[in-house]
C-alpha cells in the first residue's frame, strides 16, 4: 500500500495534513511536531510562511530532489505561491521575526541533548595566549634569524684550513711525545688526550687554538680534597717504586715541581722546531703554550700535563652530571666508570696552605674527556645531527654565545676573566632542563639562542654558575657581582636590539 492510502485510513481528526495536497514522500518525511500543529490558519493570517512553504511542496508535481534545486521560494508550477510568499514576508511583524529566529528545530534539540560536558570542554578551556599578528615584529624577527645564520656562516671553518692546521699541530705533538718517551723516565708513559673546542667541533672563526692533554697514569694514590668546593686535590703516592717520587714534597706529589720539569722537556723538544715559539709561563696555568703562524693565522697549542686516576670519582661529584632525563641513566653510568684527570692548576697566589700543603702543589680535577663525549653525542635521540637524523641547534647556540662573549670582551677589558668554559657549562645545564631534541629544533635558531642567553644572564645576575660535574663549585665565585651584572646588561641590550654586534 502507498503512503497516501495509509494516511487516508488513519483519518486523524486532529491533523490537517491529511487534507493537504502534499505528496506521499513528503508526508512520510515530515516530523510529527510539524504535522500536529493546529495553528496553520492563524499563522497564515499573521503572515507566517511555513504553511506557504508546505503548499508549494504540495502543489508541485516535480520530485523532491528537483524542488531543492530551485531557488528559494520559487517553483516552476507555482508562481502565484511565490508572490504570496513575498507578500507574506512583507507582512511579518518584528515580534514574529524574533520568534522565528529563536525557534529551535527538532534537529537542534537532538544535537543539544546528545552534547556532553566532555564535548564542551575544549570550547571553554583557556588556550595559551598567542601574540597578535604584528608584521613589523615578524620582520624584525626575520632580520634576527638572517643575522644569526649569516654569523654562523662566518664562524664556520673552511675544511682545507682545518686540515692543514691540524696536520702542523699533530706533527709537533707527535714529536713531543717521542721526545718524552726517549729522554725521560717520569713522562715516558704519557698518552695524548685531545680535548677542547677544536676536537669537540665547537671551534669558531679560525682553527687557532688546540688543547692536548698528556696524561701520566698513576695507579696507587690517595687523593684528598683541598678546600671546600671539591675542585682541588692533593695527591699522595702510595708505597711502591714510582718515578714520580722525585716530585714529592712532604709526602705530597708537588704539582709545581712536576710542571716545571715537564715544561723544561717540552722546551727542549721545541728547539728543533724554530717556527714554534714557547710563550711565557702563566701563573696557575697547567699548560705549556707554543705559538706559530700558519697561513697568516696565529695558532696556539696548549700542551697540558695531567694525571689519569683510574678509580672512583671524588665524592663531590655525586650530585653532578644530571643527565638522566637527557641522555639516560645507562649513559651516565658508563661515564661514571671512566677514569678522571688531575691537572696542575691552582687559584690565587699559590701560597695558601692547608694541612701542610701549599695551593701551588695541588691539582684540579678535570672531566674534559666526558665533556667531549657528551657534546659529540648530545641528542636524546641517538640519530640527532647524524645523516639519518634531524639536526638540532645545541652546538650552534654555543658557538653564537662564545662569539658574543668574545666580542664583548674585545669592547670591554673588564670582562676578560669570563671565558668560553662559562658558556659551555651554561649549555650543559640548559640541555638538562630542555632535554628533548625538539626543544633545539633546527628551524628555531633564534628562539633557542635567546633561551640560552636568558639562562646565561640568569646565572650572571645570581652570581652562581655551578660546575656541571661538581655542583659545590661556583665558577663565578672569583668574579665580582658588578662585573657579572654589567655583562648581563650588555647581553640584554644586544638581544633587545637584534644583535648589532654581529653585523
pTM check: above 0.75:
no
302: phi > 0 → left, psi -120 to 50 → alpha, else beta; which? beta
**Can you give the residue ranges of every domain in the chain?**
3-91, 158-377, 380-503
Cα distances from 245 to residues 184, 237, 248, 254, 362, in angstroms, run 14, 7, 5, 10, 15
Q: What is the mean pLDDT of the chain?
A: 79
Cell of 455: 639562562
Q: Which three cell numbers stand for residue 254?
A: 708537588
**φ, ψ at 376 (rounded to 5°):** -80, -25
What fold characterizes domain 380-503? Poly(a)-polymerase, middle domain (1.10.1410)
Tell me the DSSP string of 94-134. HHHHHHHHH---HHHHHHHHH--HHHHHHHHSPPPP-PPP-
The three cell numbers locating residue 424: 659551555
pLDDT for residue 397 is more than 90: yes
Query: Which three cell numbers mark 382?
Result: 641517538
Tens digit of each residue's pLDDT (9 = 90 or more) over 130-164: 344 455 555 666 788 899 999 999 998 887 778 88
Nearest of 274, 283, 297 to residue 255 by alpha carbon: 283
Given its phi and psi angles, is residue 33 left (phi above 0), alpha (psi -120 to 50 degrees) or beta?
alpha
CA distance 381 to 27: 65
pLDDT single digits (tens) 343-359: 999 888 888 998 889 99
- The domain 158-377: what is its CATH number? 3.30.460.90
Q: Counting beta carbons within 10 angstroms of the beta carbon of residue 331, is it exposed (0 to 12), middle (13 to 18) or buried (19 or more)?
A: middle
* Residue-wise pLDDT tens digits, 235-274: 998 877 788 999 998 889 999 999 999 999 999 999 999 9
Amino acid at each position: 500500500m502507498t503512503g497516501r492510502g495509509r494516511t487516508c485510513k488513519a483519518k486523524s481528526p486532529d491533523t490537517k495534513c491529511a487534507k493537504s495536497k502534499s505528496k506521499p514522500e513528503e508526508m512520510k518525511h515530515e516530523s510529527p511536531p510539524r504535522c500536529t500543529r493546529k495553528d496553520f490558519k492563524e499563522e497564515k493570517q499573521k503572515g507566517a510562511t511555513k504553511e506557504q512553504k508546505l503548499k508549494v511542496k504540495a502543489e508541485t508535481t516535480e520530485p523532491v530532489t528537483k524542488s531543492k534545486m530551485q531557488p528559494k521560494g520559487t517553483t516552476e508550477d507555482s508562481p502565484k505561491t511565490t508572490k504570496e510568499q513575498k507578500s507574506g514576508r512583507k507582512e511579518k511583524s518584528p515580534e514574529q521575526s524574533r520568534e522565528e529566529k529563536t525557534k529551535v528545530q527538532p534537529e537542534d534539540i537532538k544535537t543539544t541533548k546528545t552534547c556532553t560536558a566532555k564535548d564542551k570542554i575544549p570550547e571553554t578551556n583557556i588556550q595559551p595566549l598567542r601574540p597578535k599578528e604584528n608584521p613589523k615584529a615578524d620582520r624584525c624577527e626575520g632580520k634576527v634569524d638572517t643575522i644569526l645564520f649569516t654569523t654562523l656562516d662566518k664562524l664556520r671553518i673552511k675544511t682545507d684550513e682545518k686540515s692543514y692546521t691540524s696536520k702542523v699541530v699533530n706533527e709537533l705533538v707527535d714529536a713531543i711525545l717521542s721526545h718524552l718517551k726517549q729522554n725521560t723516565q717520569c713522562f715516558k708513559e704519557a698518552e695524548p688526550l685531545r680535548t677542547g673546542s677544536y676536537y669537540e667541533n665547537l671551534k669558531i672563526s679560525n682553527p687557532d687554538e688546540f688543547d692536548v692533554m698528556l696524561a701520566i697514569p698513576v695507579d696507587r694514590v690517595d687523593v684528598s680534597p683541598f678546600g671546600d668546593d671539591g675542585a682541588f686535590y692533593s695527591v699522595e703516592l702510595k708505597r711502591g717504586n714510582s718515578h714520580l717520587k722525585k716530585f714529592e714534597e712532604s709526602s705530597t706529589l708537588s704539582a709545581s715541581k712536576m710542571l716545571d720539569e715537564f715544561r723544561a722537556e717540552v722546551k727542549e723538544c721545541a728547539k728543533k722546531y724554530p717556527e714554534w715559539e714557547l710563550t711565557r709561563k702563566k701563573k696557575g696555568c697547567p699548560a705549556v703554550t707554543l705559538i706559530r703562524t700558519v697561513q697568516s693565522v696565529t695558532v696556539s697549542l696548549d700542551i697540558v700535563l695531567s694525571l689519569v686516576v683510574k678509580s672512583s670519582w671524588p665524592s663531590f661529584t655525586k650530585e653532578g652530571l644530571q643527565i638522566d632525563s637527557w641522555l639516560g641513566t645507562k649513559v651516565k653510568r658508563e661515564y661514571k666508570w671512566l677514569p678522571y684527570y688531575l691537572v696542575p692548576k691552582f687559584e690565587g697566589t699559590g701560597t695558601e696552605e692547608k694541612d701542610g700543603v701549599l695551593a701551588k702543589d695541588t691539582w684540579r680535577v678535570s672531566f674534559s674527556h666526558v665533556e667531549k663525549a657528551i657534546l659529540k653525542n648530545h641528542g636524546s635521540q641517538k640519530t640527532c645531527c647524524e645523516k639519518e637524523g634531524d639536526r638540532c641547534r645545541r652546538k650552534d647556540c654555543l658557538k653564537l654565545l662564545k662569539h658574543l662573549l668574545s666580542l664583548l670582551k674585545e669592547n670591554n677589558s673588564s670582562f676578560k676573566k669570563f671565558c668560553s668554559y662559562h658558556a659551555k657549562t651554561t649549555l650543559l645545564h640548559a640541555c638538562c632542563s630542555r632535554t628533548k631534541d625538539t626543544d633545539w629544533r633546527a628551524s628555531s635558531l633564534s628562539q633557542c639562542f635567546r633561551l640560552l642567553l636568558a639562562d646565561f644572564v640568569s646565572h650572571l645576575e645570581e652570581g652562581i654558575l655551578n660546575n656541571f660535574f661538581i655542583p659545590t663549585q661556583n665558577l663565578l665565585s672569583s668574579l665580582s657581582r658588578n662585573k657579572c651584572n654589567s655583562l648581563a646588561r650588555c647581553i640584554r641590550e644586544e638581544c633587545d636590539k637584534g644583535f648589532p654586534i654581529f653585523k
